[in-house]
Homo-oligomer: A and B are copies of this chain.
Amino acid sequence: MQARIDKIKQQLQSQGYKLTSQREATVRVLLENEEDHLSAEDVFMLVKDKAPEIGLATVYRTLELLSEMHVVEKMNFGDGVARYDLRTDSNKHHHHHLICIKCGSMSEIMDDWLGPLEERLEKEYRFNVLDHRLDFQGICAKCQAKESSDDKS
């Protein structure tokens, strides 16, 4: 984990930015919650445990900075808040989301199904793909079960 922080520190410094204690605490929170898709508010609450004096604005500024540096990915699931994911060491964010419109649950598929599509895109549209985002909306298995039992009542 220290190795990843050092790497981020170097990235920041190469652009003239500093790795302050607040920024380090923020990065640690992201590292410790890599599986989640934290909102700025989520990150703020978690960082407060490590650095109680931190302000929400600093968290926003840090996330924005990390996003510009491509250290985190800023995402939007349409629920009114931006969510942030640390990028993996491999440079791309190869997973897709299944979002249930009934219960709001979100699960992930870790496969990347889009490799061939991206190649086609670069060829046919001359578009240099840096990242993609594939979300499916629908009804999860649990809610399908619930729906059919509701129908009976």
Residues in chain A within 8 A of chain B (CB atoms):
74-76, 78, 82, 98, 100-101, 107, 109, 113-114, 117-118, 121, 125-141, 144
Contact = CB atoms under 8 A, between A and B. Distances in A.
Instruction: Say how many copies of this protein the assembly contains.
Output: 2
Given A76-B76, A137-B132, A98 B125 contact: yes
A137 B131 contact: yes
Contacts of A138: 127-131
Contact of A136 (B82, B129, B135, B137): B129
A49 B49 CA distance: 53
A117 B128 contact: no
From A136, A138, A139, A144, residue with most partner B Cβ within 10 Å: A136
B136 A121 contact: yes
Nearest to A74: B78
A134 B131 contact: no
